[in-house]
Amino acid sequence: MKGRAITTNNTIFNVYNETKKRLERFGIEDYGFEARVIIKHITGFDNKKIMMNYNALLSPYQLNQVEDIIMKRQARYPLQYILGEWSFYGRTFKVGEGVLIPRADTEIVVETALNLIKDTINPGVLDLCAGSGAIGLTLSLEREDSNVTLLEKHTPALRYCKLNKDLLSADNAQCINGDVFTGDCSNGKFDLIVSNPPYVSEDDMKTLQPEVGYEPEVALCPGSDELLFYREIVKNYKKAVNPCGAFCFEVGINQADSVKEILSSAGLKNVEAVKDYAGIDRVVFGTVSEVQ
Ligand SMILES: C[S@@+](CC[C@H](N)C(=O)[O-])C[C@H]1O[C@@H](n2cnc3c(N)ncnc32)[C@H](O)[C@@H]1O
Protein backbone atom coordinates (compact mmCIF):
# COMPACT_ATOMS: atom_id res chain seq x y z
CA MET A 1 0.00 0.00 0.00
CA LYS A 2 1.18 3.52 -0.76
CA GLY A 3 0.89 6.29 1.85
CA ARG A 4 0.23 4.73 5.25
CA ALA A 5 1.44 1.35 4.03
CA ILE A 6 0.78 -1.82 5.96
CA THR A 7 4.30 -2.94 6.65
CA THR A 8 3.94 -5.93 8.98
CA ASN A 9 2.17 -8.24 6.60
CA ASN A 10 -0.53 -7.61 4.09
CA THR A 11 -3.02 -10.18 5.24
CA ILE A 12 -6.71 -9.63 4.72
CA PHE A 13 -7.02 -9.26 8.50
CA ASN A 14 -4.41 -6.49 8.73
CA VAL A 15 -5.60 -4.62 5.66
CA TYR A 16 -9.19 -4.76 6.92
CA ASN A 17 -8.20 -3.37 10.32
CA GLU A 18 -5.99 -0.67 8.84
CA THR A 19 -8.73 0.33 6.37
CA LYS A 20 -11.24 0.52 9.20
CA LYS A 21 -8.98 2.78 11.28
CA ARG A 22 -8.27 5.14 8.42
CA LEU A 23 -11.93 5.44 7.42
CA GLU A 24 -12.82 6.18 11.03
CA ARG A 25 -10.19 8.93 11.13
CA PHE A 26 -11.79 10.51 8.01
CA GLY A 27 -15.07 10.75 9.91
CA ILE A 28 -16.87 8.01 8.02
CA GLU A 29 -19.75 6.80 10.15
CA ASP A 30 -20.02 3.19 8.95
CA TYR A 31 -16.26 2.61 8.81
CA GLY A 32 -16.45 -1.07 9.82
CA PHE A 33 -19.14 -1.86 7.28
CA GLU A 34 -17.32 0.06 4.54
CA ALA A 35 -13.99 -1.65 5.28
CA ARG A 36 -15.71 -5.01 4.91
CA VAL A 37 -17.38 -3.95 1.64
CA ILE A 38 -14.03 -2.77 0.27
CA ILE A 39 -12.30 -6.07 1.14
CA LYS A 40 -15.19 -8.01 -0.41
CA HIS A 41 -14.96 -5.87 -3.54
CA ILE A 42 -11.24 -6.30 -4.12
CA THR A 43 -11.08 -10.01 -3.22
CA GLY A 44 -14.41 -11.06 -4.72
CA PHE A 45 -14.96 -13.05 -1.49
CA ASP A 46 -18.20 -13.23 0.47
CA ASN A 47 -18.26 -12.80 4.28
CA LYS A 48 -17.70 -16.51 4.93
CA LYS A 49 -14.74 -16.74 2.57
CA ILE A 50 -13.18 -13.65 4.10
CA MET A 51 -13.39 -15.25 7.57
CA MET A 52 -11.81 -18.43 6.23
CA ASN A 53 -9.00 -16.49 4.54
CA TYR A 54 -8.12 -13.93 7.20
CA ASN A 55 -4.43 -14.79 6.92
CA ALA A 56 -4.26 -14.85 3.12
CA LEU A 57 -1.98 -12.20 1.62
CA LEU A 58 -3.33 -9.56 -0.75
CA SER A 59 -1.38 -8.98 -3.96
CA PRO A 60 0.39 -5.65 -4.64
CA TYR A 61 -2.31 -4.95 -7.23
CA GLN A 62 -5.07 -5.51 -4.66
CA LEU A 63 -3.24 -3.34 -2.13
CA ASN A 64 -3.07 -0.52 -4.66
CA GLN A 65 -6.78 -0.92 -5.28
CA VAL A 66 -7.51 -0.63 -1.56
CA GLU A 67 -5.28 2.43 -1.29
CA ASP A 68 -7.00 4.04 -4.26
CA ILE A 69 -10.43 3.51 -2.69
CA ILE A 70 -9.28 4.83 0.69
CA MET A 71 -7.92 8.01 -0.92
CA LYS A 72 -11.23 8.59 -2.70
CA ARG A 73 -13.12 8.01 0.52
CA GLN A 74 -10.82 10.51 2.26
CA ALA A 75 -12.22 13.06 -0.23
CA ARG A 76 -15.66 11.70 0.78
CA TYR A 77 -16.36 10.49 -2.77
CA PRO A 78 -19.31 8.06 -2.35
CA LEU A 79 -18.34 4.41 -1.90
CA GLN A 80 -21.26 3.45 -4.15
CA TYR A 81 -19.84 5.48 -7.06
CA ILE A 82 -16.37 3.99 -6.45
CA LEU A 83 -17.77 0.45 -6.62
CA GLY A 84 -20.06 1.41 -9.52
CA GLU A 85 -22.97 -0.52 -8.04
CA TRP A 86 -25.14 -0.83 -4.94
CA SER A 87 -27.68 -3.23 -3.60
CA PHE A 88 -31.37 -2.35 -3.45
CA TYR A 89 -34.11 -4.76 -2.39
CA GLY A 90 -31.67 -7.64 -2.84
CA ARG A 91 -30.61 -6.76 -6.38
CA THR A 92 -27.54 -4.98 -7.71
CA PHE A 93 -28.07 -1.63 -9.44
CA LYS A 94 -25.35 0.10 -11.45
CA VAL A 95 -24.71 3.63 -10.21
CA GLY A 96 -22.28 6.44 -10.95
CA GLU A 97 -22.10 10.20 -11.29
CA GLY A 98 -25.33 11.69 -12.57
CA VAL A 99 -27.68 9.28 -10.81
CA LEU A 100 -28.99 9.19 -7.24
CA ILE A 101 -27.71 6.26 -5.17
CA PRO A 102 -30.71 4.15 -4.13
CA ARG A 103 -31.33 4.48 -0.37
CA ALA A 104 -32.38 1.73 2.03
CA ASP A 105 -35.35 3.89 3.16
CA THR A 106 -36.75 3.72 -0.36
CA GLU A 107 -37.32 -0.01 0.12
CA ILE A 108 -40.33 1.01 2.26
CA VAL A 109 -41.79 2.66 -0.86
CA VAL A 110 -41.42 -0.64 -2.70
CA GLU A 111 -43.04 -2.59 0.17
CA THR A 112 -45.97 -0.15 0.30
CA ALA A 113 -46.37 -0.14 -3.48
CA LEU A 114 -46.40 -3.95 -3.63
CA ASN A 115 -49.09 -3.97 -0.99
CA LEU A 116 -51.18 -1.43 -2.91
CA ILE A 117 -51.17 -3.57 -6.08
CA LYS A 118 -51.33 -6.99 -4.40
CA ASP A 119 -54.94 -7.65 -5.50
CA THR A 120 -54.59 -6.21 -9.01
CA ILE A 121 -53.89 -8.58 -11.87
CA ASN A 122 -51.50 -7.25 -14.53
CA PRO A 123 -51.08 -3.90 -12.76
CA GLY A 124 -49.98 -0.91 -14.78
CA VAL A 125 -47.42 1.11 -12.83
CA LEU A 126 -45.84 4.50 -13.53
CA ASP A 127 -42.62 5.39 -11.66
CA LEU A 128 -42.09 9.14 -11.91
CA CYS A 129 -38.57 10.55 -11.32
CA ALA A 130 -37.17 7.06 -11.80
CA GLY A 131 -33.40 7.70 -11.46
CA SER A 132 -31.51 4.37 -11.43
CA GLY A 133 -34.85 2.58 -11.71
CA ALA A 134 -34.60 1.27 -8.15
CA ILE A 135 -38.33 1.51 -7.46
CA GLY A 136 -39.88 0.82 -10.86
CA LEU A 137 -37.53 -1.99 -11.92
CA THR A 138 -37.86 -3.68 -8.53
CA LEU A 139 -41.66 -3.57 -8.82
CA SER A 140 -41.50 -4.98 -12.34
CA LEU A 141 -39.31 -7.85 -11.14
CA GLU A 142 -41.31 -8.55 -7.99
CA ARG A 143 -44.52 -8.54 -10.02
CA GLU A 144 -43.76 -10.25 -13.30
CA ASP A 145 -47.38 -9.75 -14.46
CA SER A 146 -47.05 -5.96 -14.17
CA ASN A 147 -46.27 -3.43 -16.86
CA VAL A 148 -44.06 -0.67 -15.51
CA THR A 149 -43.23 2.66 -17.16
CA LEU A 150 -40.30 4.59 -15.68
CA LEU A 151 -40.10 8.31 -16.46
CA GLU A 152 -36.90 10.30 -15.97
CA LYS A 153 -35.97 13.76 -17.21
CA HIS A 154 -32.19 13.84 -16.93
CA THR A 155 -30.05 12.00 -19.49
CA PRO A 156 -27.30 10.58 -17.21
CA ALA A 157 -29.89 9.13 -14.83
CA LEU A 158 -31.99 7.78 -17.70
CA ARG A 159 -28.88 6.04 -19.06
CA TYR A 160 -28.46 4.17 -15.75
CA CYS A 161 -32.16 3.36 -15.69
CA LYS A 162 -31.93 1.73 -19.13
CA LEU A 163 -28.68 -0.06 -18.24
CA ASN A 164 -30.23 -1.50 -15.07
CA LYS A 165 -33.36 -2.54 -16.95
CA ASP A 166 -31.19 -4.50 -19.40
CA LEU A 167 -28.86 -6.01 -16.76
CA LEU A 168 -31.78 -7.05 -14.57
CA SER A 169 -33.75 -8.34 -17.58
CA ALA A 170 -36.81 -6.32 -16.61
CA ASP A 171 -38.61 -7.11 -19.85
CA ASN A 172 -41.96 -5.84 -18.56
CA ALA A 173 -40.53 -2.33 -17.95
CA GLN A 174 -39.84 0.61 -20.24
CA CYS A 175 -37.67 3.64 -19.44
CA ILE A 176 -38.86 6.89 -20.98
CA ASN A 177 -37.38 10.35 -21.17
CA GLY A 178 -39.90 12.89 -19.88
CA ASP A 179 -40.72 15.69 -17.49
CA VAL A 180 -43.35 15.47 -14.76
CA PHE A 181 -43.97 19.21 -15.06
CA THR A 182 -45.25 18.82 -18.61
CA GLY A 183 -47.24 15.71 -17.63
CA ASP A 184 -45.39 13.29 -19.92
CA CYS A 185 -47.08 9.85 -19.90
CA SER A 186 -50.17 11.31 -18.18
CA ASN A 187 -52.37 10.24 -21.08
CA GLY A 188 -51.93 6.60 -20.04
CA LYS A 189 -53.92 4.73 -17.40
CA PHE A 190 -52.19 3.21 -14.39
CA ASP A 191 -53.17 1.29 -11.27
CA LEU A 192 -50.33 2.83 -9.34
CA ILE A 193 -48.27 5.98 -9.68
CA VAL A 194 -45.20 5.82 -7.49
CA SER A 195 -42.55 8.48 -7.03
CA ASN A 196 -39.54 9.42 -4.97
CA PRO A 197 -39.18 12.98 -6.24
CA PRO A 198 -36.59 15.61 -5.26
CA TYR A 199 -37.74 16.88 -1.82
CA VAL A 200 -34.73 18.18 0.13
CA SER A 201 -35.18 21.81 1.14
CA GLU A 202 -32.51 24.39 0.26
CA ASP A 203 -31.69 24.76 3.98
CA ASP A 204 -31.33 21.01 4.50
CA MET A 205 -29.06 20.76 1.44
CA LYS A 206 -26.45 22.70 3.43
CA THR A 207 -26.44 20.15 6.25
CA LEU A 208 -26.03 16.92 4.29
CA GLN A 209 -23.03 14.57 4.46
CA PRO A 210 -20.17 15.58 2.11
CA GLU A 211 -20.81 12.47 -0.06
CA VAL A 212 -24.22 13.83 -1.09
CA GLY A 213 -22.44 16.79 -2.73
CA TYR A 214 -21.28 14.39 -5.47
CA GLU A 215 -24.85 13.35 -6.27
CA PRO A 216 -26.89 15.36 -8.80
CA GLU A 217 -28.58 18.36 -7.18
CA VAL A 218 -31.54 17.98 -9.56
CA ALA A 219 -32.22 14.59 -7.94
CA LEU A 220 -32.36 16.04 -4.44
CA CYS A 221 -33.52 19.63 -4.29
CA PRO A 222 -36.63 20.97 -6.03
CA GLY A 223 -35.65 24.60 -5.34
CA SER A 224 -37.35 26.97 -2.93
CA ASP A 225 -40.57 24.92 -2.63
CA GLU A 226 -39.75 21.50 -1.20
CA LEU A 227 -43.28 20.19 -1.90
CA LEU A 228 -43.41 21.37 -5.51
CA PHE A 229 -43.11 17.90 -7.10
CA TYR A 230 -45.91 16.42 -4.96
CA ARG A 231 -48.32 19.19 -5.99
CA GLU A 232 -47.35 19.02 -9.67
CA ILE A 233 -47.49 15.24 -9.85
CA VAL A 234 -50.92 15.00 -8.21
CA LYS A 235 -52.23 17.83 -10.41
CA ASN A 236 -50.80 16.48 -13.69
CA TYR A 237 -51.30 12.74 -13.14
CA LYS A 238 -54.53 12.33 -11.18
CA LYS A 239 -56.42 11.68 -14.40
CA ALA A 240 -53.93 8.94 -15.25
CA VAL A 241 -54.87 6.80 -12.23
CA ASN A 242 -57.49 4.09 -12.76
CA PRO A 243 -60.51 3.97 -10.44
CA CYS A 244 -59.34 2.32 -7.18
CA GLY A 245 -55.74 3.01 -8.22
CA ALA A 246 -53.26 4.83 -5.98
CA PHE A 247 -50.47 7.36 -5.62
CA CYS A 248 -47.52 6.34 -3.46
CA PHE A 249 -44.79 8.84 -2.57
CA GLU A 250 -41.55 8.82 -0.62
CA VAL A 251 -41.45 11.93 1.60
CA GLY A 252 -38.77 13.72 3.61
CA ILE A 253 -38.67 14.16 7.38
CA ASN A 254 -41.64 16.27 8.60
CA GLN A 255 -43.25 16.37 5.15
CA ALA A 256 -45.81 13.59 5.62
CA ASP A 257 -48.61 15.79 6.98
CA SER A 258 -48.25 18.35 4.17
CA VAL A 259 -48.17 15.63 1.50
CA LYS A 260 -51.20 13.92 3.07
CA GLU A 261 -52.96 17.28 2.85
CA ILE A 262 -52.03 17.62 -0.86
CA LEU A 263 -53.52 14.18 -1.57
CA SER A 264 -56.67 14.76 0.52
CA SER A 265 -57.30 18.18 -1.07
CA ALA A 266 -57.07 16.54 -4.50
CA GLY A 267 -59.91 14.19 -3.46
CA LEU A 268 -57.84 11.07 -2.76
CA LYS A 269 -59.17 8.63 -0.18
CA ASN A 270 -57.57 6.39 2.46
CA VAL A 271 -54.64 8.76 2.73
CA GLU A 272 -52.03 7.32 5.09
CA ALA A 273 -48.37 7.53 6.05
CA VAL A 274 -46.01 4.60 6.56
CA LYS A 275 -43.00 4.76 8.85
CA ASP A 276 -39.44 3.73 8.00
CA TYR A 277 -37.24 1.52 10.22
CA ALA A 278 -36.25 4.61 12.23
CA GLY A 279 -39.91 5.37 13.03
CA ILE A 280 -40.05 8.37 10.67
CA ASP A 281 -43.05 8.84 8.34
CA ARG A 282 -41.37 8.00 5.04
CA VAL A 283 -44.15 7.09 2.62
CA VAL A 284 -47.53 8.67 1.93
CA PHE A 285 -50.17 6.99 -0.19
CA GLY A 286 -53.79 7.60 -1.14
CA THR A 287 -56.31 5.89 -3.39
CA VAL A 288 -58.56 7.23 -6.10
CA SER A 289 -62.24 6.55 -5.44
CA GLU A 290 -64.16 4.14 -7.64
CA VAL A 291 -66.15 6.85 -9.38
CA GLN A 292 -64.10 9.78 -10.62
C1 LIG B 1 -34.86 11.54 -5.45
S2 LIG B 1 -34.34 11.01 -7.06
C3 LIG B 1 -35.13 9.43 -7.07
C4 LIG B 1 -34.47 8.40 -7.94
C5 LIG B 1 -35.04 6.98 -7.76
N6 LIG B 1 -36.45 6.95 -7.99
C7 LIG B 1 -34.72 6.45 -6.37
O8 LIG B 1 -35.66 6.36 -5.56
O9 LIG B 1 -33.57 6.10 -6.09
C10 LIG B 1 -35.33 12.04 -8.10
C11 LIG B 1 -35.16 11.83 -9.60
O12 LIG B 1 -36.01 12.77 -10.28
C13 LIG B 1 -35.40 13.16 -11.49
N14 LIG B 1 -36.06 14.42 -11.91
C15 LIG B 1 -35.81 15.68 -11.50
N16 LIG B 1 -36.65 16.54 -12.09
C17 LIG B 1 -37.48 15.82 -12.87
C18 LIG B 1 -38.58 16.14 -13.70
N19 LIG B 1 -38.99 17.42 -13.84
N20 LIG B 1 -39.23 15.16 -14.38
C21 LIG B 1 -38.81 13.86 -14.23
N22 LIG B 1 -37.76 13.48 -13.46
C23 LIG B 1 -37.11 14.46 -12.77
C24 LIG B 1 -33.95 13.31 -11.08
O25 LIG B 1 -33.10 13.30 -12.20
C26 LIG B 1 -33.77 12.09 -10.17
O27 LIG B 1 -33.36 10.98 -10.91
- The CA 89 to ligand 1 mean position distance, Å, reads 19
- The CA 133 to ligand 1 mean position distance, Å, reads 10
Instruction: For the chain, give every domain's residue range.
Output: 12-75, 99-287
Does residue 57 line the site of ligand 1, with CB under 6 A?
no
Whole-number percent of the chain with pLDDT over 70: 96
From 103, 105, 112, 129, mutation site for ligand 1 pocket: most ligand atoms within 8 A of C-beta: 129
Instruction: Give residue-wise pLDDT tens across range 54-82.
Output: 999 999 999 999 999 999 999 999 999 99
Closest atom of ligand 1 to 109 CA is 8
pLDDT at residue 7 greater than cutoff 70: no
pLDDT at residue 2 in the model:
44
Closest atom of ligand 1 to 127 CA is 6
Closest atom of ligand 1 to 220 CA is 1
State mean pLDDT over 186-201.
97
Single-letter code of the amino acid located at 227: L
User: What kind of architecture, by CATH, is found in domain 99-287?
Assistant: 3-Layer(aba) Sandwich (3.40)
The CA distance from 139 to 125, in Å, is 8
pLDDT at residue 265 greater than cutoff 80: yes
pLDDT at residue 8 in the model:
53
Contact 268, 244 (CB under 8 A): no
* pTM of the model as a whole: 0.94
Burial of 27 (0-12, 13-18, 19+ CB in 10 A): exposed
Q: Which residues contact 31 (CB under 8 A, 6 or more apart)?
A: 20, 21, 23, 24
pLDDT at residue 119 greater than cutoff 70: yes
